[in-house]
Every structure is written in structure tokens, then in C-alpha cells.
């Protein structure tokens, strides 16, 4: 089952990596609220045909933040625990090692971590509450640190990596008094700045031809690293959210829906629209569903098309 990634909290989440034939799905079992109780976090690794390859179960105490996970192109799984600032690596259910950000116990409830893989590389951005900065590390699937540096904000909103270009993108807020600087920085693997734009993203992708697409619930933008052109699109209807954005046949394309509703633990969407962006806040709109609710959508970029699945209708 493929589900949509949004900024909304959902019990089962799926993480895809660009051009990766594997994906990882996280499921949370348990409803621990009291001391001594634990939740079971199950990470399931699937191949491109939705076959379950293997699964890993992590047990966490009732008050510990849930770990997240990303998967490499060889099915190596990296389970990220922000509370203990460590990453556990698995392959085919075999534990292969742990990477620790600190050589001493450093537990923190408010710490955040963003991880993204491409090929055999993983980009990790971990906030440091004490310094107000974030660690940036590039680690391969053999637990080797290839690069590490700091950025001057702990408020990351999204990251992206393209291993062919040796380029990363990090989006963050930085407070200057009552004003927040909203920036996305493009850097090489050494941390040298290539470009910076005044836009934020939660989810984004760097393509091999140097074009970047990023979006959050309300805004999407494209930045061309070669031409330095920036195109922005904002959803003007307060009842709509952006579900995804991609370059489809070379054109910036945004998919929106009405704000979803939660029913029996299931997010329900309707009124899906495809928007072909022609310039800043200029788009041609194509309605692509009926007014019925849908439980899931998936995006197949391997065919250079954005597809919506209608077989999970929820009345």
C-alpha cells in the first residue's frame, strides 16, 4: 500500500527516496501512556513491486519520541532516534552497526532530525538545542562519515540530496528578533553555499539537470541551479492543501486537495486537482477526481507522470 506523505500526523507513514527501488513503511503498535509501558515501532522494507523484504521492530518507552527511518538503494535500513541522537543500521533483518552523534549519553526530547537518502548516501540534519545550530552529516550505508559541518539554525523544515550532482538542499527558519528568515540553501557536500532562496519546503527533490522542486502545505517553488530562476506558487484557497509537486514532462506540476478529514483513524481526501504552473502564481487547473473521498494516492514518477490511484475509495 502506498500512502501520501503530508505534514499531517498519521499512524502509518511511508518514506521514498529519489530513484530508489525500496521504500520503508512505519507502523506504530500500542497506546502507551504510563510509566513502564512501551510502544512497538515496526519498520517494513518493501521493493518496487510492493513485496515485503524484511521488517525491524523497535520498542520505545511511553514518553520517548518515535524513531523514523530511511532506506538506501541496497535495502539497508537506517533507523533514526532523535532522543538518543543515534542511527541504527540494518540489512535483511541483520543489525550492522550504530552511528552516534555524541560519544557520551546526550538525551533530548526537543531534538529534531531530518534524513534523506540517494544511492548509497544519506543526508542527516540534527538540531542542537544548546547552540541553536544544526549538525549536517553525509553518511554512507557502511556507516562512514563522508562530510560533516554546521548550519546556523536549529529550525529545519526540509532537506533534499542528489548524489549525482553532489548537491544538498536544506530549508530552515532563523529568528532575528520578531522576524523569521525563511531560507533554502543549496550546498555541495563540503557545505559550501551554491545558492540561497527565500522560500521554505517540507518535501523536495533535486533532479539531475539541476532543477529543484519543493513544497509545504500551502506553497510550492521551483529553483533552477543553472539559470538561477525561481518560480513560486501559493494556494490561495484556504480550504486546500498541496499534496505533492513534481516536474512532469519538464513542467512544474502541483497536486492539491481539500483539507483532509480524519474518520476512524483514516485520512480522507477529495477534490484532487492538478495544477500546471506557467509562472509565479499562474496555473492551468485540471480536476482529476469526483467529489467522493479517497483514502490513498500514489505518485509514479518513473513514467514521468503524476498518477492518482482510485481503488481505495472511502465513503
Distance CA 282, CA 233 (A): 7
| Mean pLDDT along residues 267-282 | 84
**pLDDT value of residue 8:** 30
| Residues present in the chain in total | 315
| Mean pLDDT along residues 137-159 | 93
Q: Is 109 helix (H, G, I), strand (E, B) or coil?
A: coil
Q: By CB neighbour count within 10 A (0-12 exposed, 13-18 middle, 19+ buried), where does 306 fall? A: buried
Q: To the nearest 5 percent, what fractions of the chain are helix, strand and coil? A: 0, 55, 45
**pLDDT value of residue 13:** 32
Distance CA 126, CA 55 (A): 25
**pLDDT value of residue 306:** 59
| Mean pLDDT along residues 275-302 | 76
Q: Is 72 helix (H, G, I), strand (E, B) or coil?
A: coil
Q: Are 60 and 67 in contact (CB under 8 A)?
A: yes
CA trace torsion 60, 61, 64, 69 (10° rounding): 10
Q: Is the pLDDT of residue 154 over 70?
A: yes
Between 66 and 208, the more confident residue is 66
pLDDT band at 11 (very low <50, low <70, confident <90, very high): very low
Q: For a pLDDT cut of 70, what percent of the chain falls above it?
A: 83
Distance CA 272, CA 92 (A): 38
pLDDT band at 12 (very low <50, low <70, confident <90, very high): very low
**Domains of the chain listed by start with CATH number:** 13-234 (2.130.10.10), 235-315 (no CATH)
pTM of the model: 0.84
Amino acid at each position: 500500500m502506498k500512502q501520501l506523505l503530508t505534514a499531517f500526523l498519521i499512524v502509518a507513514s511511508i518514506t521514498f527516496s529519489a530513484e530508489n527501488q525500496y521504500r520503508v513503511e512505519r507502523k506504530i503498535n500500542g497506546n502507551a501512556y504510563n510509566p513502564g509501558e512501551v510502544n512497538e515501532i515496526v519498520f517494513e522494507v518493501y521493493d518496487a513491486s510492493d513485496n515485503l523484504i524484511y521488517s525491524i521492530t523497535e520498542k520505545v518507552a511511553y514518553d520517548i519520541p518515535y524513531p523514523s527511518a530511511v532506506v538506501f538503494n541496497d535495502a539497508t535500513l537506517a533507523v533514526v532516534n532523535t532522543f538518543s541522537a543515534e542511527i541504527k543500521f540494518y540489512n535483511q533483518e541483520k543489525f550492522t552497526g550504530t552511528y552516534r552523534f555524541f560519544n557520551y549519553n546526550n538525551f533530548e526530547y526537543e531534538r529534531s532530525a531530518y534524513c534523506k537518502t540517494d544511492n548509497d548516501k544519506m543526508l542527516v540534519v540534527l538540531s542542537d538545542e544548546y547552540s541553536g545550530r544544526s549538525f549536517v552529516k553525509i553518511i554512507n550505508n557502511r556507516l562512514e562519515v563522508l562530510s560533516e559541518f554546521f548550519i546556523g539554525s536549529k529550525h529545519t523544515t526540509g532537506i533534499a540530496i542528489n548524489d549525482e550532482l553532489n548537491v544538498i538542499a536544506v530549508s530552515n527558519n532563523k529568528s532575528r528578533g520578531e522576524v523569521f528568515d525563511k531560507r533554502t540553501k543549496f550546498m555541495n557536500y563540503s557545505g559550501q553555499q551554491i545558492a540561497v532562496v527565500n522560500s521554505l519546503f517540507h518535501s523536495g527533490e533535486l533532479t539531475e539537470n539541476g532543477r529543484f522542486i519543493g513544497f509545504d502545505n500551502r506553497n510550492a517553488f521551483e529553483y533552477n541551479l543553472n539559470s538561477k530562476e525561481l518560480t513560486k506558487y501559493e494556494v490561495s484557497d484556504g480550504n486546500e492543501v498541496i499534496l505533492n509537486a513534481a516536474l512532469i514532462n519538464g513542467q512544474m506540476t502541483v497536486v492539491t486537495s481539500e483539507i483532509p478529514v480524519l474518520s476512524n483513524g483514516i485520512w480522507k481526501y477529495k477534490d484532487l486537482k492538478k495544477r500546471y504552473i506557467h509562472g509565479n502564481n499562474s496555473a492551468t487547473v485540471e480536476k482529476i477526481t469526483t467529489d467522493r473521498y479517497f483514502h490513498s494516492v500514489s505518485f509514479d514518477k518513473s513514467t514521468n507522470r503524476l498518477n492518482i490511484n482510485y481503488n481505495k475509495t472511502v465513503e
